[in-house]
A = this chain, B = another copy of it.
Amino acid sequence: MVNKNTESPEQKQPLVKPGIKPPPSKVQMDDIARLAGVSVSTVSRALSHSPLVSAKTQVRIAELAASLKYSVNVGAQNLRRGQNRTVAVVIPYDSSSRQHVSDPFFIGMLGSIADALTLQGYDMLLSRIDAERLDLAAQYCDSGRAVGVIVIGQWRHHDQLNELAARHLPLVVWGAELPKQMYCTVGSDNVEGGSLATGHLLKTGRRRIAFFGDTQMPEVAQRFEGYERAHAALGLPMSEELNVVVPFVAEAAREAVKSLVAKKIAFDAIFACSDLLAITAIGALRDVGLSVPNDIAVIGYDDVDMASYCHPALTTIHQSIEVAGRALVDALLAIQRGDEALPNHLPTRLVIRASA
């Protein structure tokens, strides 16, 4: 290595198998240095705008690098600098139901997180992992691939998330604030949301409102609490049979409608915990000959793009995906910086968007 330059000039490409691919041997700092007639040190400093390198040398090297389409090897750079600008984003999937998450809200959130990360100069490593094995998310940090993890949704795994946080893993979760929570969450006030939605239906005279959601999930449980409060506030009774367990997959909503009808349980409205469930339920209701909104009023949650394109437009609780994505990213980076002043839960705004 020391005296390489004094030997034959073309002795590179040590590991390249003969026969194929001589051209794509990647250009690296060494090459730039040789061509510019300086040392690698100087190239490194020039490319990172060190004041130790004169302005004209910087320009010359920058141009050379650009013309060779050189990009520094991020892996090597990270190794040496002990840094890393990648964040892992995890979308848990429910292995028991063998269903991958396809809810547009969760998926849409991805895009907004991607944008927020890009804006901060971070890369995004996307990973779907089994909701039962959330601990696997730690791998991304342990192996140095990412500096932190964003998990979309708490699902049924508050405990696993706590364990992750206990391992000092920079972690932010989209979800609800829970008691004894060791990790940071970002999310809207689900109790308020549930209350808004239910209140809207009650105000329009509905009295038997079916609740579609899986209260084993913290966010849903809180929305149900809002449902209860809205009833209580008006001194109205509720009925146990109207609380239907519906996970976040479309087919479940269809089944739920069928089941209510089959059991001849009377209801005049549905509060669905996601727009996907709401839209599917509307379809199912019509299939069994019920009119929406005349016979049954339906209200959704999330306000995904598609909601406003349904007919009639779906009334729903709006959560801003853009704000959420930015908040998640900001929180994660703050934690990673060691920001102590960060609260355990960051609320995002919530409004009801009624159909015209």
Integer count of this chain's copies in the complex:
2
Q: Which residue of B lies closest to A128 (CB)?
A: B114
Q: Which residue of B lies closest to A102 (CB)?
A: B305
Q: Check: A121 CB closer than 8 A to any chain B CB.
A: no
Q: Whole-angstrom distance between the alpha carbons of A101 and B26 in the complex?
A: 33
Q: Check: A280 CB closer than 8 A to any chain B CB.
A: yes
Q: Closest CB-CB distance, A119 to chain B, in whole Å?
A: 11
Q: Is the CB of B123 within 8 A of A124?
A: no
Q: Which residue of B lies closest to A86 (CB)?
A: B125
Q: Check: A38 CB closer than 8 A to any chain B CB.
A: no
Q: Check: A142 CB closer than 8 A to any chain B CB.
A: yes
Q: Is the CB of A142 within 8 A of B70?
A: yes
Q: Check: A51 CB closer than 8 A to any chain B CB.
A: no
**What range describes how many residues of A lie at the interface?**
35 or more
Q: Is the CB of B338 within 8 A of A311?
A: no
Q: Which residue of B lies closest to A124 (CB)?
A: B126
Interface of A is mostly: mixed
| Chain B residue contacts of A142, Cβ below 8 A | 26, 69-71
| Chain B residue contacts of A338, Cβ below 8 A | 20-21
Instruction: Knowing A108-B107, A338-B20 are in contact, say whether A114-B143 is a contact too (CB < 8 A).
Output: no
| Chain B residue contacts of A126, Cβ below 8 A | 89, 110, 114, 124-126
Q: Whole-angstrom distance between the alpha carbons of A309 and B254 in the complex?
A: 9
Q: Check: A23 CB closer than 8 A to any chain B CB.
A: yes
A81-114, CB under 8 A of B: which get 1 and which 0? 0101010010100000000111010011011001
Stretch at the interface among A171-179, A217-225, A281-289: A281-289
| Chain B residue contacts of A75, Cβ below 8 A | 75, 78-79, 84, 144-145
Residues of A participating in the B interface, judged by any CB pair closer than 8 Å: 15, 20-21, 23-24, 26, 69-76, 78-79, 82, 84, 86, 89, 91, 100-102, 104, 107-108, 110-111, 114-115, 118, 123-128, 138-139, 142-145, 167-168, 250, 254, 276, 279-280, 282-283, 286-287, 305-306, 309-311, 313, 338
